[in-house]
Amino acid sequence: MQSPTENAPTPVGAKKLSWFDDILLLGIMAVLAGCGLIYEYLLSHYAGRVLGALEAAIYTMIGLMIVSMGVGAFAARKIRCAYTGFAVLELCVALCGALAILITAAVIGFGQQLPIIIANTLGLPPDQLPQGGAIGWLQKLSEHLPYFWGVLLGLMIGMEIPLIARVRQSLCDEHLMHNAGTIYGADYIGAGIGAAIWVSFMLAIDIQLAAALTASFNLLAGFIFIWRFWSKIRYVRLLLVGHLFATGLLLLLAWHGPNWEQDFNNLLYKDKVVYAKATRFQQLTFTERLRGNDLSPVYSLYINGRLQFSSQDEHIYHSFLVHPTLEASARHDKVLIIGGGDGLGLRQVFKWQPKHVTLMDLDKDLVNLFKDGSDAMPARLNLALKQLNADALNDPRVELLFDDAFNGTDKLIQRGEKYDVIIVDLPDPSHPDLNKLYSDLFYRKLKELLSADGALTVQSTSPYHAPKAFISVGKTLASAGFKVNQYHHNVPSFGEWGWSIATLQGKDAQARLAGLNKLSIDEAWLTPGMIKGAFEFPGNYYHDAGQVKINAIGSMQLYQYHQQAWLENENVSLF
């Protein structure tokens, strides 16, 4: 039943919301919704890439910002003039959005450098850097700065819809029946467009540049709003000057901000940062440590703030990853490497003279840096990376595939491929996307790809720092139908590290290697005795293995084991 006023004629001379103003306000709302979503992604990805735990940062940031937006929607009722309030709001959002990451990087970098500054001032030795107390509090507080910005931006973004709704209503004498629904429609559509822009464009550019670009749309919305509703805004000339000042600041941040932000991020590393690159999937940072006595520099690669290798001892990790596996396999003609985009494991594989090697990695940009170098990298780093992997990625026997391993292995199965050796050199399951690559389903896929007399090895995290995660990898492999052994060795840059080796038929890998007296290749560092000794664990190491669960697909069990170990050993650098 219609209300008596629903079809009542509009009084002569009454104001009606013009189509121009309506389209303008809804368009502004859609743009701001896209900006708000991008700010969520920017802040969470910055926290994850610099401080680690990407998935936890994303979930935390989104939750905090949604709650803050709700609070902001309530707070908008306290703003008396919707026109003035909205113009001020967009100026503030633009400034905070553009500066948040840069300020956070500066504070985090200063917190890391403060102990060194104090030690140098007081003449303290390097092993007595002041820690804890106020310094520890500052360092811990700085890690939560992205969430502070998330809450602040969430509060302001939450005010946008109520203010736009009030502006639309004030432009019309009659009640706008679908005011809220129309605005929310524009908001949802704009958020979807913002997500598409983030995935298709902004993931591939520098995060500070992305922040400045996003803030520029807030500022543009403010300019358009001031132009259209000039007479209704208080202090309008002052607000216009503020927008002009912010425009200059955004241009400065877009031009110099990425370099400034990277300089602040570089303060997190003890060695000198010589090159950094944000790919579509991760933040890559290369460091250099010069040494005297004609010793070559030490180069290290960090991904999302976590050490991946050091040129000083990477040969230990990769020797144990590769050589026991190929020694345990009956043949070495076809090899599959999953991960290992740096080519360091591939270099070790070529010592066995395989006929064909397939290397599958998700990040094409990372592989290209180690394969072809980059004009943006220092020449000495280009040369050092080529020397580290012996230019293995350019060998004609290598087939490079760029794909998520979970889906990429399906394509290999469809091709009918069989491999004598499979080496899985993936990062630890530190977030859900990686967890599936340690699941029983993924290992069943590898089972289809492995020859009956072949061998497979999986990098399996630290058996000392993450024992449950380590044991779970082995048990999950066994649940997929493999005969599994586990082994370990000390890698100085990481501490005690472990691998799981598996076979399908005949003897297990340890039994195959038990009679090894001489390696089948010319290897200067690794010895048969070291390989056989690596299978020894403390007598009670597997005492509680029965309580450790396998990582069934979808269970996130290994991810939980790894996260628990990470929290308990947060000062330990894991993959």
H or E element, residue 424: strand 419-425
Residue from 455, 381, 397 nearest 424 by CA: 455
Q: Look at strands 495-503 and 450-459 and give their pairing.
A: antiparallel
Specify whether the CB–CB gap between 396 and 311 falls below 8 A. no
CA proximity to 337, closest of 474, 2, 352, 252: 352
Separation between Cα atoms, residue 377 and residue 273, nearest integer Å: 11
How is 369-397 classified by DSSP, letter by letter? HHHT--TTS-HHHHHHHHHHTTTGGG-TT
Following DSSP, what letter does each residue of 160-192 receive, concatenated? Answer: HHHHHHHHHHHT-SS--TTHHHHHHHHHHHHHH
Chain length of the chain: 575
Burial of 257 (0-12, 13-18, 19+ CB in 10 A): buried
Strand order, beta sheet including 495-503? 398-402, 356-361, 334-339, 419-425, 450-459, 495-503, 483-491
Burial class (CB in 10 A: 0-12, 13-18, 19+), 69: buried
- The CB-side HSE value for 22 (13 A sphere, CA atoms) comes to 11
**What DSSP string describes 256-309?**
HHHHHHHHHHHTT-SSEEEEEEE-SS-EEEEEEE--STTPPPEEEEEETTEEEE
Distances (CA, A) of 476 to 56, 122, 376, 449: 25, 53, 42, 17
Alpha helices in 374-466 (DSSP H): 379-388, 405-414, 432-435, 440-449
Provide the pairing of β-strand 306-310 with 334-339.
unpaired
Return the closest-CA partner of residue 487 out of 445, 452, 526, 449: 526
Q: What strand order describes the sheet that includes 306-310? A: 272-278, 283-289, 298-303, 306-310
Element (H, E) at 227: helix 207-228
Q: In 3D, which of 34, 548, 445, 370 has the Cα closest to residue 436?
A: 445
Residue 433 is among the residues annotated as catalytic for this protein: no
Catalytic pick from 206, 420, 425, 440? 425
* Amino acid sitting at position 112: Q
The single residue listed with the structure tokens 């993959």 is 575
Query: Judging by DSSP bridges, how do beta strands 419-425 and 483-491 pair with one another?
Result: unpaired
Q: Which residues are known catalytic residues? A: 425
